[in-house]
Amino acid sequence: MSELIMRTAEIDDIAQLAEMRYDSTLENHPELRITDEQKRDYTDEMHEFLEEVIGSEHWVLWVAEYGNEIVSHAYLEVVRKVPCPGRMTKSFIYMTNVYTRPKHRGLGIASRLTQVIEKWSRELEHDFILVWPDKRGEAFYTKNGYTICSEPMELKLSN
């Protein structure tokens, strides 16, 4: 019997990670109608992105694996802050694209994954972890120790 393994993503995980991102997008936006050409373009772009970021110093992708299947994942971007005089400046983590396959939800896998990420982030002395959840995700993050912070501001540059 396989056990649940928490680990960082590897190049061999690209196909599953790309598929999960596609599934997540369609789940969150059921109104989307993706053509075969759009899916090929997405797949090419996602594979290129993952080949670049897996193993880089600016991104860490954590996965929960059961057997040979990735059942949950989180993408972490390590953001280096501009140094400030009088104190040591630490980077922070922007966590995005947290997703668990539907048949594995409700089992605490994503919570365990965020706990591993928190432990890893503390060991590397990052300043904080920032997430930008939708309304459905707020309860999950609150349950896992996150607090709502003040709203950021943005300037939209494209649609």
Q: Which domain holds residue 78?
A: 4-143
Q: Considering the domain boundaries, does residue 156 fall inside one? A: no
Q: In Å, how far are 14, 52, 55, 105, 131 from 147, measured between CA atoms? A: 32, 32, 30, 22, 10
Structure confidence at residue 95 (pLDDT): 96
Asked if residues 94 and 81 have their Cβ atoms less than 8 Å apart, the reply is no
Whether 114 maps to a domain, the answer reads yes
pLDDT (average), residues 52-75? 96
CB 73, CB 23: distance < 8 Å: no
Weakest mean pLDDT among 6-15, 47-56, 78-87: 78-87
Percent of the chain predicted with pLDDT > 70: 99
Model-level pTM? 0.91
Please give the average per-residue pLDDT across 147-152, as a whole number.
Answer: 81
Where does the pLDDT of residue 93 fall: very low under 50, low under 70, confident under 90, or very high at 90 and above? Answer: very high
Neighbours of 36 (CB within 10 A): 7
Q: Determine the average pLDDT of the residues in 81-98.
A: 92
pLDDT of residue 1: 54
β-pair partners for 94: 77, 130
User: Would residue 68 count as lying in a domain?
Assistant: yes
Does 155 reside within a domain? no
**60 bridge partner residues:** 76
Give percent of the chain above pLDDT 90. Answer: 80
Q: Is 56 a member of any domain?
A: yes
Ranking 6-10, 60-64, 71-75, 82-86 by mean pLDDT, the lowest is 82-86
Task: Read off the CATH number of the domain in which 134 is found.
Answer: 3.40.630.30
Q: Is residue 149 part of a domain?
A: no
Domain count, the chain: 1
